[in-house]
Amino acid sequence: MTLTKTLTAAALAAVLTAGTALAQDTSIIVVSHGQASDPFWSVVKNGVDEAARDYGVNVDYRAPETFDMVAMGQLIDAAVNQEPYGLVVSIPDADALGPSIQRAVDAGINVISMNSGSDVAHGLGALLHVGQSEFDAGKIAGAELASMGGSNGICINQEVGNVALDLRCAGFAEGFGGNVTILPVTMDPAEITAKVKAAMETDASIDTILALGAGTAGEPALRALEETGGPVAVIAGAGHVRRDRGLPFVLAAAAPGVTVLAVGQGESAESADSTAAPADLPFDLWLLTPPAPREDPCAAFSGG
């Protein structure tokens, strides 16, 4: 089971723990800002399906067709109207989604947040958040890249307005310490390739790229580097630190001339023992990030 699927299962398990006896018709609705067709979110969707089978409950995964907070809020409202046992949500924009999430909490629905929203989940009434500290993840990557000699970087943000990606870019800038330019793009791979190429041609001193998503931004960035030459490329997202599969694995194999790093949480206890990539890992380095800080997660269920 990959890290993302593990985190998804953990979120569903937390929802289930919040109550007592479960019927086979228990309904849980997952509303995320990412589409199941996206390389990262397809792993999440698979995790949802796998966890539903493991726990014997009905789980429905929903997402807007694009990164659209109005549409996502409407999906959450529709879910609340169905009165599910539990609701799992990502929170890329608390201002836009907060009222809908609060309605779920007020209706007595068990709410867990995942992926985006570590800094706002508690305030919105979520029982707990399953994910990493996005600012710290970016800061760790930035500091490591600076130690490798990086001084002029760009952070590719394919979901401007998603607080998780905004925080990761901000953390990257703080940890990096050098010049960092935010490169806003859409989810269109051709656009990402064109903008990265243009940035590299405009400023030949760029030596570091942070791509916030291996498939979404990482692959298009590498296509641009095929033409412009390669600085350090940091790939974060689906695949994480798997040594046998995943998009960073493929990217590292396809672009041996580019330094490729994987940033994410470890999938096992032993993976936390070292930040140096093992000999059989196809990355030049892997960086492990801590989970989002929170109080004892079990305390939320003490009365359940």
Q: 202-231: per-residue pLDDT in tens?
A: 998 998 888 887 677 878 888 888 888 766
pLDDT for residue 196: 93
pLDDT for residue 95: 95
Query: Which residues fall within 8 angstroms of residue 33, CB to CB, at 6 or more apart?
Result: 63, 64, 67, 69, 72, 90, 92, 116, 159, 162
Average pLDDT over every residue of 35-40: 78
Separation CA 224–CA 33 (nearest Å): 27
pLDDT for residue 97: 97
| Closest C-alpha among 165, 129, 132 to residue 10 | 129
The mean-pLDDT minimum among 77-86, 124-133, 151-160, 241-250 falls in 241-250
The residue count for the chain: 304
Residue pair 227/258 in contact by the 8 Å Cβ criterion: no
Question: What amino acid is encoded at 79 in this protein?
Answer: A
Query: Which residues fall within 8 angstroms of residue 171, CB to CB, at 6 or more apart?
Result: 134, 135, 136, 137, 138, 139, 140, 141, 142
Average pLDDT over every residue of 75-97: 96
186-199 pLDDT per residue, tens: 889 999 999 999 99
pLDDT for residue 304: 41
| pTM of structure | 0.70
> How sure is the predictor about 266, in pLDDT bands with cuts at 50, 70 and 90?
very low
pLDDT for residue 101: 97
The sign of the dihedral angle between the CA atoms of 21, 46, 262, 137 is negative
pLDDT for residue 134: 83
CA torsion 185→186→187→188, rounded to 10°?
-90
pLDDT for residue 137: 83
